[in-house]
Structure 1
Amino acid sequence: MISIKGLRKVFTSDNRKINAVDDLTLNIQEGEIFGVIGYSGAGKSTFIRLLNRLEEPTSGSIEIGEQEITSLNTRDLRKARQEIGMIFQHFNLLWSRTVKDNIAFPLEIAGVAKQEREKRVQELIDLVGLSGRENAYPSQLSGGQKQRVGIARALANKPKLLLCDEATSALDPETTNSILDLLVDINQKLGLTIILITHEMHVIRKICRRVAVMEKGKIVEQGDVLDVFSNPKKPVTKKFVQQIMGETDEAEDTEKILATYKEGKLVRLHFIGDAANESLISKVIRKFPIDINILQGKITQTQSGGYGTMFVQLKGEEPDIQQAIEFIQSETTVEVEVVRDVQ
């Protein structure tokens, strides 16, 4: 487990102190993919650089496994860093070296014998899907391929922890998804703990189970991704959720729906978790003699399940409609809210 307590980083600029990371406390479980999200200036990049002491903390403690990182001397820190891999937004590759030589670089520094080094490099090339590109130079690679080299290089010394600093921000959406799939694959195959920082909520949604939201150096909200998505408490978290759900004004949408549909019972369904994957509408139609007209809705998936809202119009005899609503409320986890009864 990674245990971070009271972590603080203060920079001084023009005789003014800036709390880049402010009294941050966080626990991350071994083997999980943990997301940290925040807008530019939130302190997330400083935070991740504190974890391997690329930035020296002003105060606080960082414990990775049973090792107190903040108390290590230079020699012990160098050794500890071999178990902490890191990938960057702009790849940070050595442009005069080939793919295999970039991946081999940390092994050379660690003094690994040539034969063992070559074997390890080939294993990593196969793992990240770069077979056939071993002798290419970074200038000959796409953005996604460069990041795959960066990931392979970060894994060279068989780390227990992988830090991802905006690892997909420089990539197009399709390439981003392929890199995220690769990180999930690596997490599952190697049991590697991954801490991923980003300003993109869809990245968190796709591969993380837990997330911490940062603002002005502090963690303002944290928890299971599904819980944070479905019930955001802070304004900054609500803005991130809008990245996924779209810039919608639910009150305005409700008024438009009410103005358009003048008959039947108008109902808002709230889906959270496994309920979002159920074939609810078809199940209700088969069970009760009513018509259901889907008016508007959006369901978004996370690693822990889906969430979202759907507006529907229920038409039929009042007793049948009421039985259908009671069935949904009693037999599923879908929340039902009657917006207007215009029978």
Structure 2
Amino acid sequence: MISLKDIKKIYKTKNGELTAVNNVDLDIHQGEIFGIIGYSGAGKSTMIRLLNGLEKPTTGSVTINGQKISAIKGAELRAARQKISMIFQHFNLLWSRTVAENIEFPLEIAGVPKEERKKRVEELIELVGLYGRGNAYPSQLSGGQKQRVGIARALANNPEVLLCDEATSALDPETTDAILDLLLDINKRLGLTIVLITHEMHVIQKICDRVAVMEAGKVVEMGEVLQVFQAPQQKITKRFVSQVSGEDQTKEAIRELNKSYRSGKLIKITFVGEQTSEPVISQMIKRHHIDANIVHGSIQHTQSGPYGTLIVHLEGNVNDVQAAIQFLADSNLQAEVVSND
């Protein structure tokens, strides 16, 4: 659906050349929600401008649905952009127009007849949960409602791709979740390909299928969200994952628990996907005649499935405890001893 091949974007500044995107190769599949995450200066905003044709790559190509966006201009590029919509961090609404008029605006530009415009606007107001607010002005809306208008406006021309540029970073956590739920619903209903640019791992965790982690203009790690949560490879990825995984709290819990337990073993067990619902701990206790006490745990949910950790204190005969740990490994669980007798 979306393919970036050997993309490099270099800006010329008074202090010399600045490489904003450096040798990026990326493929985004039809109908998926793909996240691009990075801190300020990572190059993610440049990436989104390359996707909608606002910037041309210095080298490489950007292809969307078979059309090379990086090689067209003028009327052809304007026509292509009607299929690549965007929502923004600060909404970018027309403050002198009502909700309905804001949503109608791109249809006016596209030359859609008035009656057809009116019908489409009504459909979109219903879709984004703003029924009865069509005659309100942006100043009369909450932040979440404004973003719903932005989403409706972006959907007006039936785009194939929706780009989201930090679309929830100006919203409170509860409103953020509501907007993310709306995007997920739209993705499932319309089969729309969504690309999210963000610096918040919660956004990636909640709705994305896959994620690319950017640092200094490069994609340093990429994969399914669950896979990245389970085994982050790069230091920056580990930082992002720790924002939502509770890893820091787990480490603190292990330090405190090591002070409390003077015998037995503390085991950190990692569960992924369907493993989170299997009675592995009870099976281990029955088979190996040990005492097991769950002393700390957390489960996070992603679109690919849940991911969680448990800290379990094991007491019993040394051989039985070792056999229990081997049982966990044989059950395809990651089991790590985090304290010794």
Measured against the shorter chain, the TM-score band is over 0.9
What are the within-5 Å matches in structure 2 for residues 120-159 of structure 1? Answer: 120-159=120-159
Q: Distance in 1 between matches of 2:329 and 2:24?
A: 40
The aligned counterpart of 1:278 is 278
Q: Distance in 1 between matches of 2:13 and 2:4?
A: 26
Q: Distance in 2 between matches of 1:292 and 1:24?
A: 48
Q: Distance in 1 between matches of 2:211 and 2:193?
A: 14
SS state at 2:240 partner: helix
Amino acid at match of 2:241: V
The aligned counterpart of 2:188 is 188
Amino acid at match of 1:328: L
The aligned counterpart of 1:198 is 198
What are the within-5 Å matches in structure 2 for residues 1-343 of structure 1? Answer: 1-246=1-246, 248=248, 254-285=254-285, 289-316=289-316, 321=321, 324-330=324-330, 332-340=331-339, 342=341
CA deviation digits over 1:145-191, x for unaligned, max 9?
00000000000000000000000000000000000001110000000
Q: Distance in 2 between matches of 1:34 and 1:250?
A: 29
SS state at 1:248 partner: helix
CA deviation digits over 1:74-100, x for unaligned, max 9?
110111111011000000000000000
Amino acid at match of 1:21: V
Q: Which moved more, 1:268-277 or 1:101-110?
A: 268-277
1:281 Cα shift?
3.5
Amino acid at match of 1:114: K
SS state at 1:294 partner: strand
Q: Distance in 2 between matches of 1:52 and 1:106?
A: 16
The answer on whether the counterparts of 1:288 and 1:320 sit within 8 Å (CA) in structure 2 is: yes
1:333 Cα shift?
2.8
Q: Distance in 2 between matches of 1:21 and 1:319?
A: 55
CA deviation digits over 1:174-232, x for unaligned, max 9?
00000000111000000000000100001000111110001111111111111112211
1:60 Cα shift?
1.5
SS state at 1:242 partner: helix
Amino acid at match of 2:335: V
TM-score (norm: length of structure 1): 0.93
Q: Which moved more, 1:333-342 or 1:34-43?
A: 333-342
Q: Distance in 2 between matches of 1:31 and 1:83?
A: 14
1:252 Cα shift?
6.3
1:43 Cα shift?
0.9
1:235 Cα shift?
1.4
The answer on whether the counterparts of 1:168 and 1:176 sit within 8 Å (CA) in structure 2 is: yes
Q: Distance in 2 between matches of 1:262 and 1:255?
A: 13
Amino acid at match of 1:152: A
Question: What percent of counterpart residues are identical?
Answer: 60
> Structure 2 unaligned runs (5+)?
none
1:15 Cα shift?
3.8
The answer on whether the counterparts of 1:271 and 1:333 sit within 8 Å (CA) in structure 2 is: no
> Structure 1 unaligned runs (5+)?
none
1:49 Cα shift?
1.0
1:249 Cα shift?
7.9
1:278 Cα shift?
3.1
Amino acid at match of 1:72: I
Q: Which moved more, 1:313-322 or 1:210-219?
A: 313-322
1:30 Cα shift?
0.5
Amino acid at match of 1:115: E
Q: Which moved more, 1:68-77 or 1:251-260?
A: 251-260
1:265 Cα shift?
3.1
The answer on whether the counterparts of 1:277 and 1:306 sit within 8 Å (CA) in structure 2 is: no
Q: Which moved more, 1:259-268 or 1:149-158?
A: 259-268
Q: Distance in 2 between matches of 1:257 and 1:76?
A: 64
The answer on whether the counterparts of 1:37 and 1:44 sit within 8 Å (CA) in structure 2 is: yes
SS state at 1:20 partner: strand
Amino acid at match of 1:337: E
Q: Distance in 2 between matches of 1:104 and 1:79?
A: 18
Q: Distance in 2 between matches of 1:252 and 1:207?
A: 29
1:103 Cα shift?
0.3
SS state at 1:179 partner: helix
The answer on whether the counterparts of 2:246 and 2:298 sit within 8 Å (CA) in structure 1 is: no
1:291 Cα shift?
3.0
TM-score (norm: length of structure 2): 0.93
The answer on whether the counterparts of 2:36 and 2:213 sit within 8 Å (CA) in structure 1 is: yes
